[in-house]
């Protein structure tokens, strides 16, 4: 793997976990508040991992001033049960919600809902980032959907618990107000629909934050909160106790004994070529990801550019689709058929993207590649078994769709640092646009003109196809190292196994 790809990712990661500037962090501590990430580690069962979701959100956006989009979200174990934790980082612009903060919390709630994870909201936020209100307030997936999800998940029996550990203003006040049970911290926690500034502007009343919405008011008079905590540590302990009092399923054990893969996880990075132009040794990579000797290949001699087969990862069964070349009609049909089998047998699906797209050209169009490709996209769309996507190489054009890109609802989706994604490769896009321009003008460009025209397009595609660019916009949940992939998938499969099975009803396949 290219060192440059690793360095770019690690630099973005370092910035993402850095929180707000030194001055706001000092102020936060001086108020007796713990940093968001420390709150999470105190909440989790000791020595258990935290699978962070959307860590790189907003990386490079908003002048790079909103690390992790101002909210830390991820899956961890609390009182023996898997939970989704959402913790505002008040050191980043008062923990206010930018468009990507909303998108990140909406995504975290979706993961929680699909996996029936208890939701813990560690609230410390000034609500909407007012200059961008039109991008966060009124639409379907905006702020309102966060509150609606709390109510809907509660109605489905998925616990919704809030700890108010700082400001909780305006729309944000509905998070604790709508949760099943709410803890509030003395002196630092406040909940109000309108903060002191707004109250003064609206009615002329001058009131301090604690009188307006502090812990005493809400636990003695208003009952907007249920539990009173002396400080952050006590609040986190109370949340653990609330969860501990409820009956919950622990993560289900794998149905078969997990076996180490044939190749060691640490060797995996070495298998990724230095140049993205070099072919990935996909069968070798597969052997480093799955339990040893567990792969049973489906139609190994047919449609060979899409490897399909069942295996185990960490002892959990999985159906794998892995690209080894361009998608042809045969490989697409084989993939659709394999998905049907997995749905019939309740086997979750893993898509390992390494795809430049579908084959093009007169012969293939005449052979109906659009119709055969549509079968695969149809099967991917309607399959109701849990789906997971990892982009291990390229993920381009309709190949991304056929391999369960973001729009097709994978329960978790990640990219490796060497991976790339866009509607087509930069070089192809530059050539296509140049040919269109030449066609319009009725002339042909010389070499210099060609380079001057194509280079900015190539550069733009390269910059916008990277894993950090994708993760910053939440097109994927995480950028993960190849050697983390097995653990990441094992947790995803364990979570999926504890959710009710759903019957698949496919749409009309064009035969
Ligand atoms: N929209 C945009 N920016 C906001 C904001 C908001 N709702 N609330 C705070 N900020 C900004 C501040 O301007 C400041 O920016 P700066 O770092 O560039 O100077 C930064 O966030 C931190 O705010 P500050 O007031 O210095 O921090 P604090 O920790 O003392 O207080 C709040 C944080 C959230 C309690 C306080 O800023 C506040 O009450 N904000 C208004 C909340 C509100 O009424 N929201 C309504 C949403 S509908």
Over residues 293-341, the pLDDT tens digits come to 999 999 999 999 999 999 999 999 999 999 999 999 999 999 999 999 9
| Shortest-distance Cα residue to atom 43 of ligand 1 | 126
| Shortest-distance Cα residue to atom 19 of ligand 1 | 93
Exposure string of 158-185, with b = 16+ CB inside 10 Å and e = fewer, is bbbbbbbbbbbbbbbbbbbbbbbbbbbb
| Shortest-distance Cα residue to atom 8 of ligand 1 | 126
* pLDDT of the residue at 455: 96
| Shortest-distance Cα residue to atom 2 of ligand 1 | 129
- Which of 63, 90, 96, 164 is the pocket-test mutation for ligand 1 (most atoms within 8 Å of CB)? 96
Question: Region 48-73: what's the mean pLDDT?
Answer: 97
Task: Note the pLDDT tens digit of each residue in 122-160.
Answer: 999 999 999 999 999 999 999 999 999 999 999 999 999
Looking at the CA of residue 166, tell me the nearest atom of ligand 1.
35
Question: Region 7-24: what's the mean pLDDT?
Answer: 96
Give 45's strand partners: none
Concatenate the DSSP letters of all residues of 248-288 into one string: ---PPPPSS-----SS-GGGHHHHS-SSTTSPP-HHHHHHH
Write out residues with Cβ below 6 Å of ligand 1. 90, 93-94, 96, 126-131, 167, 169-171, 195, 197-198
- Count of CB atoms situated within 10 Å of the CB of 464: 14
The encoded tokens of residue 349 equal: 């699906």
Task: Note the pLDDT tens digit of each residue in 329-388.
Answer: 999 999 999 999 999 999 999 999 999 999 999 999 999 999 999 999 999 999 999 999
* pLDDT of the residue at 453: 96
Looking at the CA of residue 31, tell me the nearest atom of ligand 1.
29
Which pLDDT band, with edges at 50, 70 and 90, does 202 fall under?
A: very high
Helix (H) or strand (E) segment spanning residue 85:
strand 81-88
CA of 128 to the centre of ligand 1 (A): 9
What is the distance between the alpha carbons of residues 74 and 52, in angstroms, rounded to a whole number?
Answer: 4
> If we measure between CA atoms, which residue out of 72, 161, 75, 46 comes closest to residue 125?
72
Helix (H) or strand (E) segment spanning residue 398:
helix 397-402
| Shortest-distance Cα residue to atom 28 of ligand 1 | 94
The pTM for the full model equals 0.96
With a pLDDT cut of 70, the percent of the chain lying above it is 100
| Shortest-distance Cα residue to atom 6 of ligand 1 | 129
CA of 39 to the centre of ligand 1 (A): 21
| Shortest-distance Cα residue to atom 21 of ligand 1 | 93
Concatenate the DSSP letters of all residues of 323-360 into one string: ESS-B-HHHHHHHHHHHHHHHHTT--EEEEEEE--B--
Mean pLDDT (the chain) is: 96
Task: Note the pLDDT tens digit of each residue in 436-471.
Answer: 999 999 999 999 999 999 999 999 999 999 999 999
Helix (H) or strand (E) segment spanning residue 321:
strand 316-323
CA of 89 to the centre of ligand 1 (A): 12
What is the distance between the alpha carbons of residues 213 and 204, in angstroms, rounded to a whole number?
Answer: 17
With a pLDDT cut of 90, the percent of the chain lying above it is 95
Task: Note the pLDDT tens digit of each residue in 467-488.
Answer: 999 999 999 999 999 999 999 9
* pLDDT of the residue at 248: 82
Could you tell me if 48 and 80 are in contact, meaning their C-beta atoms sit under 8 angstroms apart? no
pLDDT of 164 above 80 = yes
What is the distance between the alpha carbons of residues 324 and 221, in angstroms, rounded to a whole number?
Answer: 65
CA of 94 to the centre of ligand 1 (A): 5
* pLDDT of the residue at 322: 98
Task: Note the pLDDT tens digit of each residue in 255-280.
Answer: 999 999 998 888 999 999 998 889 99
Looking at the CA of residue 125, tell me the nearest atom of ligand 1.
34
- Count of CB atoms situated within 10 Å of the CB of 267: 13
Question: Does residue 170 or residue 119 have the better pLDDT?
Answer: 119
| Shortest-distance Cα residue to atom 15 of ligand 1 | 93
pLDDT of 249 above 80 = no
- Count of CB atoms situated within 10 Å of the CB of 210: 16
Which pLDDT band, with edges at 50, 70 and 90, does 11 fall under?
A: very high
Looking at the CA of residue 129, tell me the nearest atom of ligand 1.
1
Which pLDDT band, with edges at 50, 70 and 90, does 4 fall under?
A: very high
CA of 397 to the centre of ligand 1 (A): 41
Looking at the CA of residue 127, tell me the nearest atom of ligand 1.
47
The encoded tokens of residue 22 equal: 């030194």
pLDDT of 247 above 90 = no
């Amino acid at each position: 793997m290219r060192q440059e790809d690793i360095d770019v990712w690690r630099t973005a990661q370092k910035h993402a976990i850095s929180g707000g500037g030194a001055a706001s962090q000092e102020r936060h501590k001086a108020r007796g508040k713990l940093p968001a990430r420390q709150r999470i580690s105190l909440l989790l069962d000791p020595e258990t991992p935290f699978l962070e979701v959307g860590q790189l959100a907003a990386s490079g956006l908003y002048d790079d001033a909103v690390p992790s989009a101002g909210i830390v979200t991820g899956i961890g174990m609390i009182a023996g049960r898997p939970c989704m934790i959402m913790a505002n980082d008040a050191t980043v612009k008062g923990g206010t919600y930018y468009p990507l903060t909303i998108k990140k919390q909406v995504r975290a709630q979706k993961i929680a809902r699909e996996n029936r994870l208890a939701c813990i909201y560690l609230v410390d936020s000034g609500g909407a980032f007012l200059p961008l209100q039109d991008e966060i307030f009124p639409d379907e997936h905006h702020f309102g959907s966060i509150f609606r999800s709390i109510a809907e998940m509660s109605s489905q029996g998925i616990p919704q618990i809030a700890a108010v550990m700082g400001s909780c203003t305006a729309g944000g006040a509905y998070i604790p107000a709508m949760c099943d049970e709410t803890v509030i911290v003395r002196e630092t926690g406040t909940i109000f629909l309108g903060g002191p500034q707004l109250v003064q502007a609206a009615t002329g009343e001058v009131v301090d934050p604690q009188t307006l919405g502090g812990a005493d008011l809400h636990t003695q008079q208003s009952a907007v909160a249920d539990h009173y905590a002396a400080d952050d540590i006590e609040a986190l302990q109370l949340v653990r106790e609330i969860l501990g009092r409820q009956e919950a399923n622990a993560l289900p054990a794998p149905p078969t004994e997990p076996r180490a893969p044939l190749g060691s996880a640490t060797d995996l990075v070495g298998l990724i070529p230095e140049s993205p132009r070099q072919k990935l040794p996909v069968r070798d990579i597969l052997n480093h990801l799955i339990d040893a000797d567990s792969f049973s290949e489906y139609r190994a001699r047919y449609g060979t550019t899409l490897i399909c087969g069942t295996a185990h990862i960490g002892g959990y069964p999985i159906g794998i689709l892995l690209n080894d070349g361009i998608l042809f009609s045969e490989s697409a049909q084989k993939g659709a058929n394999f998905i049907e089998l997995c749905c019939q047998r309740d086997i979750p699906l893993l898509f390992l993207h390494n795809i430049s797209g579908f084959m093009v050209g007169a012969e293939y169009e005449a052979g109906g590649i659009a119709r055969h490709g549509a079968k695969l996209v149809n099967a991917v769309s309607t399959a109701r078994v849990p789906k997971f996507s990892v982009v291990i190489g390229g993920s381009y054009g309709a190949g991304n769709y056929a391999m369960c890109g973001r729009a097709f609802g994978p329960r978790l989706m990640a990219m490796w640092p060497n991976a790339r994604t866009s509607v087509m490769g930069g070089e192809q896009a530059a050539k296509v646009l140049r040919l269109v321009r030449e066609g319009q003008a009725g002339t042909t460009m010389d070499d210099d003109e060609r380079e001057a025209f194509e280079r900015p397009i190539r550069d733009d595609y390269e910059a916008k196809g990277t894993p950090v660019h994708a993760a910053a916009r939440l097109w994927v949940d995480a950028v993960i190292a190849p050697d983390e992939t097995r653990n990441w998938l094992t947790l995803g499969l364990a979570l999926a196994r504890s959710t009710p099975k759903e019957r698949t009803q496919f749409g009309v396949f064009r035969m």
